[in-house]
Amino acid sequence: MNVLANDGISKSGVKALETAGFNVSTDTIAQENLIEEINKQNFEVLLVRSATKVRSDIIDGCPNLKLIGRGGVGLDNIDVKYANEKGIEVINTPAASSQSVAELVMTHLFSISRSVFDSNRNMPNSSNGDFKVLKKKYAKGAELRGKTLGIIGFGRIGQFTAQYAIGCGMNVIAFDPFIENISIELKIANQTINVPINMVGMNELLSSSDYISLHVPMPADGKAIIGDDEFDKMKDGAKIVNAARGGVIDEDALLNALNNGKIAAAALDVFTGEPSPRLDLLTHEKISLTPHIGAATSEAQDRIGTELADKIISRFG
């Protein structure tokens, strides 16, 4: 059976598949050439990450496809329902990258609390006099300990983020319409401690949080979860992180909130206009930026590749 990993797959995943008798290609085929090449090379399994889109045209145009795999959590770039209707199985790896995304969120929380991102922009161009100016500019940082982190969406990534935040001494509250009561495990040295999480309503989370982190899929209606109304309900000077999906925060509303001082800082790993985010976001002095790298650690990619391979081998091996 031929497998196309169009957005790449870890060496461990390739090795597991090849050992089980699968032929694996990691060559990247341009979106507009996918149908032709999938049929020409008789690929029956298509693996993607976020770059390749698998819409109805590919599903209809590639009758030999038996399985589509997404290396990651979200399935926004795959027409899952339509694929299933056509008898094509769709799989993903929801747990493999959770820790990596959570660690990136914590990186951004520290960065926007101490203006590290903006300091890194300005320090290379500073002279001796500027050094003193910058030292004064960045001397009003904040500690995470004792602050309240509100987590919107409390699945695997939200829970991993909560573990790290609690370890930093933060007070964690969360909103998730599908969860009423939950405790998470903290492993400290040789001990495991169960910590109950205070699940609250959305309005309470917005008004009570010093920091907010989003861990939700894009709503089916395409409407942002955080817009002007939600920003108005937040604390003055709150900070927000989005490492979930571009579009769950209304980018115009975010810029308004940053420019009028309602929001002190933001951190974005995802953008509505990927792979070409809008310039006013990229150049804003109050936004810490990364280019959609939440799951991009060697450990996470290794887990993703291995998990995809295990599922494919279990299905067809």
Catalytic residues: 245, 274, 292
Q: Are 158 and 95 in contact (CB under 8 A)?
A: no
In terms of phi and psi (left: phi > 0; alpha: psi -120 to 50; beta: otherwise), the region of 239 is: beta
3-state secondary structure of 188: strand
CA-nearest of 97, 166, 126, 123 to 305 is 97
> The tokens 């957005």 sit on which residue?
7
CA-nearest of 182, 251, 238, 176 to 206 is 238
Please state, in angstroms and rounded to a whole number, the distance separating the CA atoms of residues 169 and 274: 34
Q: Find the Cα–Cα–Cα–Cα dihedral 292, 272, 220, 75, rounded to 10°.
A: -30
- DSSP run (H or E) holding 132: helix 128-137
The residues that bridge with 226 in the sheet, in sequence order, are: 249
Please state, in angstroms and rounded to a whole number, the distance separating the CA atoms of residues 143 and 219: 33
How many CA atoms does the CB half-sphere of 152 hold within 13 Å? 28
How many CA atoms does the CB half-sphere of 100 hold within 13 Å? 20
> The tokens 């290379």 sit on which residue?
124
Q: Are 234 and 209 in contact (CB under 8 A)?
A: yes
Q: Find the Cα–Cα–Cα–Cα dihedral 292, 297, 299, 301, rounded to 10°.
A: 50
Q: Find the Cα–Cα–Cα–Cα dihedral 184, 185, 186, 188, rounded to 10°.
A: 170
Q: Are 254 and 231 in contact (CB under 8 A)?
A: yes
